[in-house]
Amino acid sequence: MDGVRKTFDEWAQNGKAESMETEHGKNVLKFLKTVSFDNPFTFLDVGCGNGWVIRKIAKEESCKKSIGIDKSKKMIMQSQKKIESQKEEFFHTDIESMDYKGKFDYIFSMESLYYADSIEVALNRIYKLLKPGGQFFCGTDFYSDNKATTRWRDIMKIQMHLHSKKEWKGFFHKAGFYVKTKQVKDTTNTKKWKREMGTLFIIGTKPEK
């Protein structure tokens, strides 16, 4: 079993999935508030952990389907236990080999993509899974401009690809996206990096053609 899967299987069982929900929640919710979910839409969360974003999104009136995937089977089991509506669905798969017939209006990912074996392969897959005009919101706290988080790789001791904001933008361009970025800061947080650098969201829009 690969190290990423093994680590997050453990995290699913020792309460760390819920800690991530708390730790990531504020900035993610702040970001999601800037998205207008007015028209009927479908949503995919890549590396959904315990499924907290999926449950939140499924509550949006215009949401038709809110699907979470994770390469950790234990995370998916946790998510399935917490299902609150018929709009929610969870699958145990990694994004690289995800097999799905439909296409999504929005794809989201928080603190997940940099664990992929190849960010390029994952991004190409995400691009294909989006409808024309669809958007991918990719949140990361771990980026090289955010110096305080760069030591996480030594602590985690698993595959984590460290890139700068500029490099992330380059990956998105290469996959075919129009790209924008947004840094969401938490000005009252006790952690300096949360106040000064915050979560980097790379926003990729698939051209309409």
Ligand X SMILES: C[S@@+](CC[C@H](N)C(=O)[O-])C[C@H]1O[C@@H](n2cnc3c(N)ncnc32)[C@H](O)[C@@H]1O
Question: Around Cβ 149, how many Cβ atoms within 10 Å?
Answer: 18
Residue 156, CA distances (Å) to 50, 111, 153 in order: 19, 13, 5
Q: Which is nearer to ligand X, 94 or 105 (CB)?
A: 94
Least distance (Å) between residue 9 CB and ligand X: 8
* Both tokens assigned to 176: 């075919």
Q: Which is nearer to ligand X, 105 or 141 (CB)?
A: 141
Q: Which is nearer to ligand X, 42 or 72 (CB)?
A: 72
Q: Which is nearer to ligand X, 20 or 67 (CB)?
A: 20
Distance CA 143, CA 149 (A): 7
Question: Around Cβ 123, how many Cβ atoms within 10 Å?
Answer: 24
Least distance (Å) between residue 68 CB and ligand X: 9
Contact 122, 175 (CB under 8 A): no
Least distance (Å) between residue 187 CB and ligand X: 21
Contact 52, 21 (CB under 8 A): yes
Least distance (Å) between residue 91 CB and ligand X: 10
Instruction: Tell me which residues touch ligand X (CB under 6 A).
Output: 4, 8, 20-21, 24, 46-49, 69-72, 75, 94-96, 110-112, 115-116, 122
